[in-house]
Structure 1
Amino acid sequence: MSYTKSSDTLKIKPSEAAKDIYKIALANRELSENSRKLAPEIIEKLTDYELFRMALPKHLGGIEDNPVETLKTYETLASAETSVAWIVWNNHLACTFGKFLNKTSINEIYKNKTDIYANSTRPEGFAKIVPDGYMVSGRWTLVSGCELADWFVLRCLVTGGDLPTNLGPGAKLKLMYVPKKFVKIIDTWNVGGLRGTGSHDIEIEEAFVQESYAVDFESTVENNTAYNRLPIGAINASGCAAMSLGLLKGAIDELTKMCLDRVTPGKNPDLRDRLTVQTVLAKANSALAANRAQLHSSVSTLWEESVNENIYTDVQLADVWAASCEAATAARFLISEIYAVAGTSSLYTKFRIERIHRDVHAVLQHGIIQPHWMNQAGMAYVGLKPTAAMFRI
């Protein structure tokens, strides 16, 4: 990618930049949908505002501030077009993994501010130990934004010596940084929800990855900042929840607009006169505000603890996991209600509710927002130790 940053995009908060991108995302919805990847105009703006780089150190374009700022960004983008928020959210995770690189490697991989990143935490590849590094091969599924990416962060099973060749006890996993020249994209993303994310399969055949470009969750974090101390799993879950709330906001906005546009003279009741419509809009607005407040509050608590270099309690982490799961689930339920009360209009692609309904069900298929995380949070609340590895990482 080679875009020139304009002066009016400098030093704007990500959440404010998202408001600027909102109309562009809306205007390019059909192009992103039909091409199954984000439209070039959207990519250009996201790159200009460095929204692909929010998790990086400041000198590389990151924010290094309260991550609630990222949640506001995802929500606004998702309220326009979910695929835009999804790719930004995925880049946040790919850039988060950069904290495990040494200072030289992170500056090498993330030096180009127009680069875009993709990742897969599914351990579907193999990394054979060779002199000075690894030989990586494999096929990864559901790699969002792969056609846009310049770098890929891919989880692999490390093999060689006495290491097991299958996942299970004793298996060693690492994240490998691989440039796009080694990646073959396999066209598999024929879907409805999140169609614009271009989450195709990818394949690699024997790409050499140097030792310093291979990391894991136990790798040393040289740049020990408050942002780098944030828990990866809980913050990632909160981002998924924020997108779900953005979808709910989009559905509320669309149904409200439909009500205001369909005011007709005469005695026949309009859409806005239906009790079901009035009720669901009241419920949805209330739930949106409540879930947003709880999500932001729980994430802000983690941020304050990180700033003060404190260790998070399981209950503090549970608050984020629980708020994330509840926000996402509530959003899906209310969007389905909005879809129902809007009547036959919900069937037509010209109304945003149709795609929002598809997208929210796709968003909630992600593993980071599944019901078992609510169970893990509940364990912490009753004094038990949550068992999922990603609960604390």
Structure 2
Amino acid sequence: MSDLTVDDLPEALRPAIEKYRDEAAETRRIPAELLDQLRSAGAFRLTTPRELGGFELPLASVLDVLDRLGRIDGPVAWVVWNLNWGFSAAILPESGMRRIGPDALIANSGQPGRLVADGPGYRLSGRWKIVSGIESADWVALLSIVFDGDQPRMTPAGPDVRICWVPRADVTVLDTWQVTGMRGTNSNTVVAEDVPVPADLVVPFTVTPHIDRPAYRVPLIHLVFPGCAAVLLGMAQAAVDEVAALAAGKVGMDGAPLTGQPRLQAAVGRATAQVGAARLLLLDAARELDRTATAGREATDAQRGLLRGAISFAAESSREVLRTMYEAGSSDPLYESSRLGRIVRDGQAAAQHANLSAAHYELAGRTRLGLPPNALFV
């Protein structure tokens, strides 16, 4: 790992990200040169244990880094989020981690496949859409449900859900990412057909980490889920910044600077408040989980639900900010060369992710009211 601190990381990587982001959009993947610089800087080691050369950051710090990367380029930050599975070392058996290695880039998907027992191991089949960064990955972590015959195996909490780590070479990647936004994320479809998976590369989703330190006591779903919200907030902030820069150099039809228009002033002021409020809520909910983990306590459903609601609020706020900044940009975002146009297209595409769905407000409300979450994972 480089000698960069986490605080240094986004700005240190800015020149490389800005240099290659247009190429990433054109080729629909992170260029090899940029990927190498991200790896050497430690961008994919945010959650990796310290003894393996990682930063081992608390959740709120991870989200802060992703937010700041998202302000530079959403697609790059998105791939950094989806490939930051260094915490695998805290939940896999040591023999499993030896198979993977500490430097592997691990893409992931939460759409469940089918897992069946096969002697001491398993066999995995399924189709997972929108696996971001898959062409940059060495391995892929895929959600699955254990089946006994034609029926899913049940536990007291519901279906037996597992995570399987599979070499990238053992799955088929279909080139399905023909899109207008977030093109550089290479979010293609992964297909597994009866792929053998050793038992030490399969863990239940409810696994207890064997590294008992605060960074890994945070519920596993929250090590995975909220990063996309931080990236999206970074993109929304970038849209506000871009409008401010555009306004400083343009005049209206009356010849007066756009910065003097009360309508634009109000739009930028409101958008700044919206992004700031959503960011503070997301980070505060994450810090609450961090504090609970540091104290050695188990997170409550209400604490978990608060973060899920904050994720949905981040998406809702970002959508509105992106829309109003597009309008404020007048004709500028219509052009392919427009940075604002790219940010808005990428941001609106990112906001479609299932993790960011407004449907999660229901879970947040139920847990706040003291009701059962009514969900497989909280």
Normalising by the residue count of structure 1, what TM-score does the alignment of the two structures yield? 0.88
Deviation at 1:164, TM superposition (A): 4.2
Q: Residue 54 of structure 1: which of 29, 41, 46 is its match?
A: 46
What amino acid sits opposite 2:13 in the alignment?
I
User: What does 1:191-270 correspond to in 2, within 5 Å?
Assistant: 191-262=179-250, 268-270=255-257
- How many angstroms apart in 2 are the aligned matches of 1:29 and 1:37? 9
Using the TM superposition, give the Cα deviation of residue 269 of structure 1 relative to its aligned residue in structure 2, in angstroms.
2.2
Aligned positions, number: 375
Aligned to 2:364: 377
**70, 91, 110: which one pairs with 1:78?**
70
Aligned to 2:92: 101
Alignment correspondent of 2:146? 158
Q: Which residue of 1 aligns with 2:11?
A: 19
Partner SS for 1:288: helix
Q: 1:376 to 1:127 in 2, by over 3 A?
A: closer
- Select the residue among 357, 363, 375 that pairs with 1:388: 375
AA matched with 2:105: I
Partner of 1:64: 56
Supply the distance in 1 between the matched residues of 2:355 and 2:14 (Cα, whole angstroms).
26
Corresponding residue SS for 2:181:
coil
Shift of 1:220: 4.2
Q: Is the 8 A contact 2:229 2:315 kept in 1?
A: yes
Counterparts in 2 of 1:137 and 1:297: CA distance versus 1, 3 Å: closer
Distance 1:389 1:281, change over 3 A: same
Deviations 1:234-267 (A, max 9, x none): 4434322211210111101111111122259x96
Q: Is the 8 A contact 2:46 2:62 kept in 1?
A: yes
Structure 2 residue ranges without an equivalent (≥5): none
Letter in 2 for 1:382: L
> Residue 362 of structure 1 aligns with which residue?
349
Say yes or no: does 1:347 pair with 2:334: yes
- Checking the alignment, whether the CA contact within 8 Å between 2:131 and 2:188 is kept in structure 1 is yes
Match of 1:118 among 69, 84, 107: 107
**Other structure's SS at 1:53 match:** coil
Are the structure 2 counterparts of residues 360 and 283 from structure 1 closer, same or farther at C-alpha, using a change threshold of 3 Å? Answer: same
Q: Distance in 2 between matches of 1:156 and 1:40?
A: 30
Say if 1:379 and 1:173 are closer, same or farther in 2 by CA, change over 3 A: closer
- Give the structure-2-normalised TM-score: 0.92
Counterpart check, 1:315 vs 2:302: yes
Pick the aligned partner of 1:147 from 135, 139, 144: 135
Q: Is the 8 A contact 1:250 1:356 kept in 2?
A: yes
- What residue identity is the alignment partner of 1:184? T
Give yes or no for contact 1:318–1:378 (8 Å, CA) kept in 2: yes
Name the % identity. Answer: 27
> Is the partner of 2:136 in helix, strand or coil?
coil
Is the 8 Å Cα contact of residues 53 and 91 (structure 1) preserved in structure 2? no
Comparing 127-136 and 368-377, the one that deviates more = 127-136
Q: In 2, distance between residues paired with 1:169 and 1:232?
A: 20
Change (3 A) 1:219 1:383: closer
Q: Which residue identity is paired with 1:299?
A: A
Using the TM superposition, give the Cα deviation of residue 205 of structure 1 relative to its aligned residue in structure 2, in angstroms: 3.3
Which is worse superposed, 268-277 or 280-289? Answer: 268-277
| RMSD between superposed Cα atoms in Å | 2.2
Partner AA of 2:246 in structure 1: M
The residue type equivalent to 2:319 in the other structure is R
Determine the structure 1 residue equivalent to 2:117.
Answer: 129
Distance across 1 between alignment mates of 2:349 and 2:272? 22
